[in-house]
Amino acid sequence: MEKFFNTAGPVKSDIHYCVNPLSRVNTAEIESLIAQQKYFILHAPRQTGKTSMLLALRDYLNVQGQYVCVYANVESGQAFRNDVRSVVDCVISEIKKRLVLLLRDNHFEGLAQQAKQTDQGQALNQFLTLVSEYLDKPFILFLDEIDTLVGDSLVSVLRQIRSGYDQRPAAFPQSIILCGVRDVRDYRIVLSNQDIITGGSAFNIKAASLRMGNFTRQEVRQLYDQHTTTTGQIFEEECFDMIWTATEGQPWLVNALGYEVTYEMKENRDRSIHIIPEMLYKAQERIIYRRDTHIDILIDKLREPRVKRVIEPILSGNTEQSIDTLNDDDIQYTEDLGLIVRDKPLRIANAIYKEVIPRELTWSKQETILNQSVWYINDDNSINIFKLLKEFQSFYRENAESWDKHFDYREAGPQLLLQAFLQRVINGGGYIDREYGLGMKRTDLLIRKPLTDQYGGPVQKIVIEVKIRYGNLETEISKALEQTAAYIERAAADLKEAHIIIFDRDSKKNWEEKLYCLTRTYNGRQFTIWGV
């Protein structure tokens, strides 16, 4: 059977192309922490490979024979919320089941039943003590998805582990790894009485916090080369820069792109067909449009106030805000979700997320826009961008006020409304690449429109730079010309069409003042400036 790219659950090396999970962490550091009898945290965004790494580490340690190492996923306890007894029983049952499977010893059934007779505030502690005393080797425990537990239940589990810490290793696990999306210090736990405590106060025995990163460029190449070695199907060299830009190594995205372009796009199951960048753009579009679970989870997070406070100024390119004016806890939380990178400027983590976020924030708006493509498509199948942007001026004048009131991200409203309009009318016949970041003072859009149905055929490229007017118009235009020219040089040097849209949010001005179309020449290139 041919292997495939994995997009669901832990990796299995016998059926999946994979990067060795243990190569993605500092195994020597982890072994040292375990030898020192430390309790510590491993965290990373969802679908980064945490579980695959823990399972590989468990097997690695057990083969060495020095410890009894058990992995347990406690996510099933989430359903019981603040029902401490049910959650604790669930955690005990999961650990017990894994012990029985590993050691083929049913004695753990009796230990679990004995522990469950204990008061709910000590049952887990008692079970871990009984297991540690029964085993003839030090007990190492990995608890995965720990941050899916909530409220009183999470606090109870953390405190029961903490209370047995001084008994290790003879009567409690020598080392425990808690694994989740966030560092325990970032947990804000709301108890049933509405009191709020932090994870750090409930689990103050944490010795270290390790963050698992994305694939490196080399690891991405290694993964895709496995497909080529196995099937003979070649990825053109230009593909790898595109894959990196699209994903920046986010493991699920890397695998999803690979699976989509080599398997879901059925014509490419013919392994004699070379994979070219245009195929990957199509694969990316299909993943975004399909809204796979990974994408849906991210979108759900955009509604959280802590995330919105970080993402909104990035989308708007806010000139007033810098990273220093944002709440660091909000930034850390959003980074732990995998949505942003702490670069200068603070930015969205990869090109696919840059596409996903504005699309999803304007999804309902896009559905209300008529998609009649004939009127803006030329005879050669290219976009008549002058018709399109002229229409947008009218569209914005009619809809801006009413739509602005209903945007969750109002500060980024003009940019989002433009992108909703462009996405709706171009969708299916072209692609939009987006570039924006905190303090950039602009949003750069690159529209790419294939002119034929053939892969590798001619492609129309159009740059649109979006700015909010804050001062003198000629000063804004001068800055925009310089910025747009620099973006074109970097992203689309062969481009022929360049446009600048300047939004004026001054409510005292009438539309006759705001709407205009000008042309300017800069460095020998013509630019069209649209006032909105």
Structure tokens at 195: 């009191």
E runs forming strands in 145-216: 175-180, 188-190, 196-198, 206-211
Domain boundaries, the chain: 21-211, 217-290, 354-531
CATH number for 21-211: choose from 3.30.70.1060, 3.40.50.300, 3.40.50.150, 3.30.70.260. Answer: 3.40.50.300
What pLDDT score was predicted for residue 260? 97
What pLDDT score was predicted for residue 129? 98
The whole-angstrom separation of Cα 297 and Cα 353 is: 12
What pLDDT score was predicted for residue 495? 81
The whole-angstrom separation of Cα 421 and Cα 367 is: 10
What is the signed CA dihedral for 104, 107, 111, 112, rounded to 10 degrees? 40
What pLDDT score was predicted for residue 406? 67
Cα–Cα distances in angstroms (integers) from residue 165 to residues 176, 186, 374, in the given order: 10, 21, 70
E runs forming strands in 145-283: 175-180, 188-190, 196-198, 206-211
Q: What residues in the chain have per-residue pLDDT under 50? A: none
Residue whose structure tokens are 């806890």: 329
What pLDDT score was predicted for residue 82? 87
Q: What angle do CA 14, 20, 25 make, to 5 degrees?
A: 150
Query: Which H or E run contains 466?
Result: strand 459-468
Q: How many residues does the chain have?
A: 532
Q: Which residues contact 73 (CB under 8 A, 6 or more apart)?
A: 51, 94, 144, 145
What pLDDT score was predicted for residue 364? 65
What pLDDT score was predicted for residue 60? 97
Residue whose structure tokens are 């753990």: 108
Structure tokens at 366: 């896009």
In 3D space, the residue among 55, 48, 54, 143 whose CA is nearest the CA of residue 335 turns out to be 48
Report CA torsion sign: 173, 175, 177, 178: positive
The whole-angstrom separation of Cα 295 and Cα 287 is: 9
What pLDDT score was predicted for residue 266? 96
What pLDDT score was predicted for residue 417? 86
